[in-house]
Amino acid sequence: MFTGLVESVGEIKKTVRRGAGLEMVINGAFAGDGLTLGESIAIDGACLTVTARQECCFSVDVSPETLNRTTFNEKKVGDRVNLERALRLSDRLGGHLVTGHIDGIGIIRGIERKGDFMCLRIQAPVGILAYVIEKGSIAVDGISLTVNSCTQNEFDVMIIPHTFAKTTLQYKKVGEKVNLENDLIAKYVEKFLLSRRTSGITKEFLQQFGIS
């Protein structure tokens, strides 16, 4: 589990195809700082496992399922990625609960500077937008962000100067793809409601649970 608060930016040093999967070697600040084999780490928001470690680099294996769900199929040597180590139970939850299980890919359709801030407009699949609400949370390349507004095709997020400077968002351009993870709680709520009443939410259903 993660918070969506990016701790460092790494750089892809090597990629090797392993059958239907991919091995990535990443130059990151954590490599020589207590990173252990088997540890989970979020790379551009995707939860991956450390499979090898050197003084300045570490390796991860990317499964075919992860390749299908993320932007990693298009990653190349020299690309920068957001890094976050797994959440400890004693840590403050500064962002929101992020699993590292990417739901799909979005496309940056607009970047607009507003004073010291940056507004990103991101096109997303309908299945992802179903869980996106104004002032709700979404993870973009592993970054916990608040949704400013949303339509049937897109949503907007505002980037504060600190986030812009400390993440890969400073390198993004219009047309680039990003990994998206919906708010976990929204998906569980939908699952609960659908399982309790297949015919939909009615007035009687709401009254049953004390909602009038």
- Alpha-carbon distance 187 to 77, whole Å? 35
What pLDDT score does 180 carry? 98
Asked if the domains 8-85 and 104-189 are classified in one and the same CATH topology, the answer is: yes
- Alpha-carbon distance 6 to 31, whole Å? 16
Strands 143-150 and 104-114, sheet pairing: unpaired
What pLDDT score does 174 carry? 98
What is the pTM (predicted TM-score) of this model? 0.88
Q: Which spans in the chain are helix H?
A: 64-69, 126-129, 161-166, 184-196, 203-208
What pLDDT score does 198 carry? 52
- Alpha-carbon distance 27 to 64, whole Å? 23
How is domain 104-189 classified at the CATH fold level? Elongation Factor Tu (Ef-tu); domain 3 (2.40.30)
Do 41 and 53 meet the contact criterion of CB atoms below 8 Å apart?
no
pLDDT per residue rounded down to tens, the chain (212 residues): 898 999 999 999 999 998 999 999 999 877 767 788 999 999 999 999 999 998 889 999 999 999 999 999 999 999 999 999 998 777 777 778 899 999 999 999 999 999 999 999 999 999 999 999 999 999 999 999 999 999 999 999 999 999 999 999 999 999 999 999 998 887 878 777 777 655 556 667 667 766 65
Q: Locate 101 and state its tokens.
A: 């299980």
CATH placement of domain 8-85: 2.40.30.20
Domain boundary assignment for the chain: 8-85, 104-189
